[in-house]
Chain A
Amino acid sequence: MIKVKNLYHSYSRDERYAVKDVSFEIEKGEIFGFLGPSGAGKSTTQGILSGLLRLQKGEVTVAGYNVKKISNKMFNQIGMSFEQSNVYNKLTARENLAFYRKLFDVETRDPDELLELVGLADKAKVKAGEFSKGMKHRLTFARSMINNPSIWFLDEPTTGLDPAIAATIKDIIWDQKKREVTTFLTTHNMFIADELCNRVAFIVDGEVRLIDSPRSLKLQYGSRFVDIEYIGGNGLVKESLSTVDDKDRARIKHIIDNNEIQTMHTKEATLEEIFIKVTGRGLI
């Protein structure tokens, strides 16, 4: 559904690239996570893919359309949720959606149904200008679904939302996946990415460092550990041992056989830990 080949972008139109030689492909119905710290070039990439930024260098096809010669018809299939919410402050939540749906040629969803979905049903008649940041963000997110998009761009859909609402958003995305919606998900929330994404790309300083499924990444990079607490000769002892290393495995066996175990946890490396391991960078 989405093909990106050797994509470059420079805001200053020189050698200072915000996005550098990025290539990837996204299959139909896939949720593709674009992960990286802020300033990595995630929104820039999404901007080019959605035609908001002019393609400078590289090849991009979205739903069969070459992004260089973008057609308005293409947007009938595309939904886009923005990092910074951008709704008409002077219109109510319902008016915002009611106007927006008129701008598409395809069947659209009922504004009230969408407001219900994101938990804004009781705010339908309130002007968006009176909304909190999180509420505006949810309205922007709801709007992105109004034309039943088959390709969905989500820029930080859960950032700034409280955990309960973030979970709701996560469920909605999961639901859309069941409908074969192809999703380009930009985030620095590794838990969301871990749970939702078929594949993730790690992006740092405009460059994609790695693309793989979260599961495969964990198998490759996340050597598993066991934290063991037991009563030794001098009281409580705590050890952290690998479950793959032979020496550690023997040690675990020895402890279990000879000591009284207090607690024992297996610990999987998180996507975040893998990200740091691969890129040498944190996510903030």
Chain B
Amino acid sequence: MKLWYSFLKELQLSSKGFYFYIEILMALIMLVVVLFVIPENFDKRSTEYIYVGLPKPASEAMLGKLLDSDTDGIVESVTIKVKDEELSTDYYESDESKVYLAKSESDLIKLADSKKQPGVAISLDEAGSLHYKYYLQGYESQKLKNLYMVSASKDLASLQEGINGQEVRSMSGDYEVLSDRANTIPALLTFNGSFMGMFIIAAYIFLDKSAGIIKAYAVTASTVWQYLMSKVLVITLTTIITSLIVVIPALGGKPDYPLLLLFLVTTGFFASALGLLVSSFFKSLNQSFNAIFVLIIAMMLPSIAYFIPSWEPFWIRFIPSYPILQGFREIILDNGDASYVLFASLGFFVAGSLLFIWSNHRHKGLLTA
């Protein structure tokens, strides 16, 4: 009961405070950005470095195809400076990609290495079938590697089609690719829920601390955990509201809403418990600023990896925002992995509970000192 009254009071307070409106405003801005600024899909022409080591007829057929799709129909000769060397390449520019054709495989390796982009060497093996050799950087995600395999098969198919005039079906299957717009939403939700939740709950605590309100609370028959939990509940509710402000107009009926609610609750709980813990180590918002800043930067790394598929080091999976992002993604996908979301929810619930118990313990001894 006391928790309920505290919750109502926190709700009343937050509706009178400005953080609540900042959050709503942020959600509206995100919505506007998602709907009107981010196109359904970005114009992202990939840059490719290729070496074609094929016998003449095959290579001519391939280059002919490249030239056909070139926007101006002219092959440009481009010299690229790599360290002290100048490597000359042939440059094709199509609607989909920018292709640099290396003169030799060793040139290709140098180009791929210095440009930090994957390179492809195409050759014909003894049996007469095409051979793709990818030069990667070493930190690409498995997903990207799989994608290369699929696209290689596709290229093979289209090349064979060109040479033999035979009809071959593409191998790329039911791998749903989110539109760029939908793709940004998991990142926005993670930012909105987790970062804001963590920051704002800490801000609320410090506000109460500086006003001495916690002391007044400490001399009642109510407990510290009820005080903390009432704040968690308000933050979680705010997160749900602001997330839905973005999700409903942007995605309509696409997401799995029960799963989304569950995930918002568990991740919101986790993030606010983390914020509570951080606030227990400092006396004021100013003092805690560095810690919160570092945490937010750390939590942002997975978002960066999320948008740059070629950068995904192994350790990034251990940052909580990684599974949060992936979870939101699965919720949005039509054939999303519900068991991943459920499992992650359980994980966040357990981790959040532990953090909450810890921060309750710390605050009990500290709120008043």
Mark A residues whose CB is within 8 Å of B.
47, 50-54, 72-73, 75-76, 78, 80, 82, 84-91, 95, 99-100, 102-106, 140, 143, 147
Q: In the complex the two chains form, what is the Cα distance from A104 to B16 in whole Å?
A: 25
Q: Is residue B220 within 8 Å, beta carbon to beta carbon, of the partner chain?
A: yes
Asked if A52 contacts B215 (CB within 8 A), the reply is: yes
List, in ascending order, chain B residues with CB within 8 A of A53's CB: 368-369
B residues 1-57 with Cβ under 8 Å of A? Answer: 1-2, 5-6, 9, 12-13, 16-17
A157 CB to closest chain B CB, in angstroms? 15
Mark B residues whose CB is within 8 Å of A.
1-2, 5-6, 9, 12-13, 16-17, 211-213, 215-223, 365, 368-369
List, in ascending order, chain B residues with CB within 8 A of A99's CB: 5, 9
B212 CB to closest chain A CB, in angstroms? 3
Asked if A102 contacts B218 (CB within 8 A), the reply is: no
Asked if A143 contacts B13 (CB within 8 A), the reply is: no
List, in ascending order, chain B residues with CB within 8 A of A95's CB: 12
Asked if B217 contacts A103 (CB within 8 A), the reply is: yes
What are 22 A-to-B residue pairs whose CB atoms are below 8 Å? Answer: A47-B368, A52-B219, A53-B369, A76-B221, A78-B219, A82-B216, A85-B212, A86-B211, A86-B213, A86-B215, A86-B216, A87-B213, A88-B13, A90-B13, A91-B12, A99-B5, A103-B2, A103-B6, A103-B222, A104-B222, A106-B221, A143-B216
Asked if B219 contacts A80 (CB within 8 A), the reply is: yes
List, in ascending order, chain A residues with CB within 8 A of B16's CB: 90
Asked if B368 contacts A52 (CB within 8 A), the reply is: yes
Q: In the complex the two chains form, what is the Cα distance from A50 to B218 in whole Å?
A: 9
Other-chain contact of A75, B6, B215, B220, B365 (Cβ < 8 Å): B220
Asked if A72 contacts B369 (CB within 8 A), the reply is: no
Asked if A86 contacts B222 (CB within 8 A), the reply is: no
List, in ascending order, chain B residues with CB within 8 A of A87's CB: 213, 216
* Contacts across chains A and B counted by CB atoms under 8 Å: 72
Q: In the complex the two chains form, what is the Cα distance from A239 to B16 in whole Å?
A: 67
Asked if B220 contacts A104 (CB within 8 A), the reply is: yes
Known: A82-B212, A89-B211. A103 touches B220 (CB 8 A): yes
List, in ascending order, chain A residues with CB within 8 A of B217's CB: 103
Asked if B218 contacts A51 (CB within 8 A), the reply is: yes
Q: In the complex the two chains form, what is the Cα distance from A91 to B10 in whole Å?
A: 11
Asked if B215 contacts A82 (CB within 8 A), the reply is: yes
Q: In the complex the two chains form, what is the Cα distance from A52 to B209 in whole Å?
A: 13
Asked if A103 contacts B13 (CB within 8 A), the reply is: no
Asked if B211 contacts A103 (CB within 8 A), the reply is: no
Q: In the complex the two chains form, what is the Cα distance from A40 to B193 in whole Å?
A: 47
Q: In the complex the two chains form, what is the Cα distance from A104 to B221 in whole Å?
A: 5
**Which residue from chain B places its CB closest to the CB of A77 in the assembled complex?**
B221
Q: In the complex the two chains form, what is the Cα distance from A147 to B216 in whole Å?
A: 13
Not counting A51-B218, A51-B219, A87-B213, a sample of 7 additional A-B residue pairs whose C-beta atoms are within 8 angstroms of each other reads A53-B369, A75-B220, A84-B212, A88-B13, A100-B216, A103-B221, A147-B221
**Which residue from chain B places its CB closest to the CB of A153 in the assembled complex?**
B219
List, in ascending order, chain B residues with CB within 8 A of A140's CB: 216
Q: In the complex the two chains form, what is the Cα distance from A147 to B213 in whole Å?
A: 18
Asked if A100 contacts B220 (CB within 8 A), the reply is: yes
| Top 7 closest pairs, chain A to chain B, by CB | A86-B212, A103-B220, A102-B5, A103-B222, A52-B368, A90-B16, A80-B219
List, in ascending order, chain A residues with CB within 8 A of B211's CB: 86, 88-89
List, in ascending order, chain A residues with CB within 8 A of B12's CB: 91, 95
Asked if A52 contacts B213 (CB within 8 A), the reply is: no
Asked if A90 contacts B17 (CB within 8 A), the reply is: yes
Other-chain contact of B223, A72, A85, A102 (Cβ < 8 Å): A72
**Which residue from chain A places its CB closest to the CB of B4 in the assembled complex?**
A102
Asked if B365 contacts A54 (CB within 8 A), the reply is: yes
B276 CB to closest chain A CB, in angstroms? 19
List, in ascending order, chain A residues with CB within 8 A of B212's CB: 82, 84-86
Other-chain contact of A102, B2, B213, B216, B219 (Cβ < 8 Å): B2
A127 CB to closest chain B CB, in angstroms? 9
Q: In the complex the two chains form, what is the Cα distance from A96 to B1 in whole Å?
A: 17
Asked if B220 contacts A73 (CB within 8 A), the reply is: no
Q: In the complex the two chains form, what is the Cα distance from A89 to B208 in whole Å?
A: 10
**Which residue from chain B places its CB closest to the CB of A127 in the assembled complex?**
B16
B19 CB to closest chain A CB, in angstroms? 12
List, in ascending order, chain A residues with CB within 8 A of B1's CB: 102
**Which residue from chain B places its CB closest to the CB of A102 in the assembled complex?**
B5
Most buried by A among B215, B221, B222: B221
List, in ascending order, chain A residues with CB within 8 A of B218's CB: 51-52
Other-chain contact of A105, B213, B221, B365, B368 (Cβ < 8 Å): B221
B195 CB to closest chain A CB, in angstroms? 25
**Which residue from chain A places its CB closest to the CB of B211 in the assembled complex?**
A86
A101 CB to closest chain B CB, in angstroms? 9
List, in ascending order, chain A residues with CB within 8 A of B5's CB: 99, 102-103
B146 CB to closest chain A CB, in angstroms? 54
Q: In the complex the two chains form, what is the Cα distance from A47 to B368 in whole Å?
A: 9
